[in-house]
Structure 1
């Protein structure tokens, strides 16, 4: 479930930074594996458990001259959660957590972008996860942009946010150290 949120956050993060002179639409490069929706959560307060969502898609619109007009939209396949442990992944897909049979998709759609400094912004939007829609803010950073070796043009962003599991009706009690999950997103978009 956290991974879905991460995916949404990553797309949201892509909306920020500086780059082009004109507004442009970008498709997140998941086909070339240049985008990641990752998460981390404390395991009993003793260590960190890391995971990712392997299947997601989306895009963003970005205008360097008017970053506040940027937009992000992403959808994520919740069953694609991967923590490098098959039994744990099966449990995360269950009704205890992501409930993927009932809610196979998580989405993020931006509602506002606010510049917070040179190459940084807060991307506000609605995250739908486990059938619950809540507002979230992704702290995003512009990584870079330019021509690629295949004749295209790319822009990249990173971002992060923290989510409380109970806010998304994930009631499984993992203890006080594990009430929050951090989403860490890195996206590279190809200009259309």
Structure 2
């Protein structure tokens, strides 16, 4: 009987030690992948990707074990200008016919304290995979009004367009794009 109790205790401890899995809440419009890039060095042009999906693993007591995977339908780009979006979907930029999806897969997370950290991973865009680091902040987590449990994060990163084969000349002030990521997940 004692061995059974020890086994059950160990099994329960193992279950609580694993990170919870969360599905990114894109259906409820609680997650956003946005970008901004300088326009001629005079202002910022903002846009977003409307269709994406993914999940993440997170344990508040062991944030270093966190991970995330995201897939983006790059044809869902929306910069609030139909003609520009058509150009962005073309060969000069995203080339969506040849590369319909972009992905991000984390490789590690380094907690920095106060809910902040560095999320490293591999971004694949236009068929090119490069390492990127996202500055992440845990916004919060807890029960929702519908009986679920949620966690939310915000993050930013930037990268050079040419690193992903985007060679279109937008001028010297527009060589890098900033990504703004807001993710809310529902525990599954």
Instruction: Indicate if the aligned counterparts of 1:68 and 1:115 stay in contact, CA closer than 8 A.
Output: yes
The residue that corresponds to 2:185 in the other structure is 189
Q: Aligned match of 1:58 in 54, 60, 73?
A: 54
Q: Write the distance in 2 (CA, Å) between the matches of 1:169 and 1:64.
A: 37
RMSD value, Cα: 1.1
Secondary structure of 1:158's match?
A: strand
Q: Aligned match of 1:90 in 86, 93, 96?
A: 86
The structure with more radius of gyration: 2
1:148-181 Cα distance to aligned partner (Å, 9 max, x none) = 0111000000000001000000000101100000
Secondary structure of 2:57's match?
A: strand
Where in structure 2 are there 5+ consecutive unaligned residues?
1-15
Q: Does 1:179 align with 2:175?
A: yes
Q: How does 1:8-87 map to 2 (within 5 A)?
A: 23-87=19-83
Q: Aligned match of 1:167 in 152, 163, 166?
A: 163
Q: Write the distance in 2 (CA, Å) between the matches of 1:92 and 1:21.
A: 44
Where in structure 1 are there 5+ consecutive unaligned residues?
1-19
Aligned residues: 173
**Structure with more contact order per residue of length (Cα contacts < 8 Å, sep ≥ 6):** 1
The residue that corresponds to 1:149 in the other structure is 145
**Aligned structure 1 segments of 4 or more residues deviating by more than 2 angstroms:** none
Q: Write the distance in 2 (CA, Å) between the matches of 1:184 and 1:42.
A: 14
The residue that corresponds to 2:136 in the other structure is 140
Q: Write the distance in 1 (CA, Å) between the matches of 2:90 and 2:143.
A: 43
